[in-house]
């Protein structure tokens, strides 16, 4: 069942069109890896889906409802949660208070503080610590937990492994794997192509604001993704 349909979406930063005519759909329970070079439009696209940056044209349909003009806080209530690049926690508040703040804006469901702690056990001993004192991996776990506390139907994760040590990335992805196995629906921005291809059902590659490749992860090679990533297909006259 299709949970999200994006139709000819254009998103601007002033005169710059950062997302250009993007169309794709997401099935319930599907994991989408969104890849592309810096400046390709990935973050802008996620922010447009979350309502943090309204598009100039096109449509976002979620659960059969057109959300295109809906503000971000109402999209949280509709079931979309964004884990933003840079995490954007409240550094002087505790881990627990960051999580509780998200619950007040979200929906009823299975995600409670205890459920988040069980999913991210590295947070249990840091529950009352200020978010600003956490390691990068602990902050990322808190940011993901905060999004889960809204009990979303669609989880958007921007640059999950950015700035983290390899060990911290492994821990975060181990926890995410449990979510994926439980049937969660995610769009995941990830710079590590091996990691992205390893967890995704489908890979979408963006270049200069457009989606230039949409393929099932098991049917596409790293070389094909790399060519799309750097625009080599265009140079060679190939199509995505």
3-class secondary structure, 207: strand
- In the DSSP assignment, the letter for residue 67 is -
Q: Any residues with CB less than 8 A from the CB of 56 and at least 6 apart, and which?
A: 10, 11, 12, 17
Q: How far apart are CA 103 and CA 100, in angstroms?
A: 5
Ranges of residues in the chain whose predicted pLDDT is under 70: 106, 233-240
Residue 236 has what pLDDT? 43
- In the DSSP assignment, the letter for residue 170 is H
Q: Any residues with CB less than 8 A from the CB of 116 and at least 6 apart, and which?
A: 99, 123, 145, 148, 149
Residue with tokens 């049917």, as numbered in its chain: 219
CATH architecture for the domain at 2-236: 3-Layer(aba) Sandwich (3.40)
Residue 238 has what pLDDT? 41
């Amino acid at each position: 069942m299709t949970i999200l349909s994006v139709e000819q979406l254009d998103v601007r930063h002033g005169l710059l069109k950062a997302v250009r005519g993007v169309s794709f759909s997401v099935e319930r329970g599907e994991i989408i890896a969104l890849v592309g070079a810096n400046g390709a439009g990935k973050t802008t696209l996620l922010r447009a889906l979350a309502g943090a940056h309204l598009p100039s044209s096109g449509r976002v349909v979620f659960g059969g409802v057109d959300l295109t003009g809906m503000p971000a806080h109402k999209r949280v209530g509709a079931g979309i949660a964004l884990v933003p690049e840079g995490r954007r926690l409240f550094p002087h508040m505790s881990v627990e208070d960051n999580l509780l703040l998200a619950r007040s804006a979200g929906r009823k469901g299975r995600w409670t503080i205890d459920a988040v702690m069980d999913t991210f056990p590295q947070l249990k001993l840091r529950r009352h610590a200020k978010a600003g004192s956490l390691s990068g991996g602990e902050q990322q776990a808190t940011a993901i937990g905060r999004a889960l506390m809204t009990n979303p139907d669609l989880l958007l994760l921007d640059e999950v492994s950015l700035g983290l040590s390899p060990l911290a990335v492994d821990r975060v992805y181990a926890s995410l794997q449990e979510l994926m196995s439980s049937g969660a629906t995610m769009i995941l921005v990830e710079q590590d192509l091996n990691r992205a291809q390893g967890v995704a059902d489908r890979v979408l590659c963006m270049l200069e604001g457009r989606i230039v490749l949409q393929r099932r992860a098991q049917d596409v090679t790293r070389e094909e993704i790399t060519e799309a990533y750097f625009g080599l297909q265009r140079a060679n006259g190939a199509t995505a």
